[in-house]
Amino acid sequence: MESKRQQKFAGVLQEELATLFQREGAEYLPDTLVTITKVRVSPDLAVAKVYLSFLSTNNTGLSIATVNSHAGEIRYKLGARIRHQVRVVPSLTFFLDDTNTYVEHMDKIFDKISKERKEQGKEEEEETTED
């Protein structure tokens, strides 16, 4: 459970990182839209886990690796933006947010269940009309 302080700080980081990626994200990932979906901060506010979602990319693993390789540079730019709001700029680790993939997978499962129920319902109707 995150404290209010952690949640507030995570919100500031998410907002500033989103602005940073919007303005300068093309340096790291050209022709790719990066979305900051979630930020989790450690209790001492020294470590931030940043979850990213990518649009217009075929290889998300490579995209995450690229962003992580530039984590120091991104941290420096973030520090320049939030230096008056925080004492310590947290170290950043970027992760792939696979929520969209999970949602698509669950949608497929629900569609399959729905089709099976419809087919089962039709079979039961046919059995009752034959009797």
Q: How confident is the model at residue 130 (pLDDT cuts 50, 70, 90)?
A: low
Give me the pLDDT at residue 59, please.
85
Give me the pLDDT at residue 131, please.
57
CB atoms within 10 A of CB 70: 16
Contact call for residues 78 and 92 (beta carbons, < 8 A): yes
The number of domains in the chain is 2
Give SS3 for 65.
Answer: helix
Q: Which regions of the chain does DSSP assign to beta strands (E)? A: 33-41, 47-55, 91-96
Q: What is the CATH number of the domain that holds 58?
A: 3.30.300.20
Q: What is the pLDDT of residues 57-116, one digit of tens each?
A: 888 889 999 999 999 999 999 999 998 988 889 999 999 987 777 888 888 999 999 888
- Residue 38: which domain range? 4-97
Both 57 and 90 in a single domain? Answer: yes
Both 47 and 16 in a single domain? Answer: yes
Contact call for residues 5 and 85 (beta carbons, < 8 A): no
Give SS3 for 39.
Answer: strand
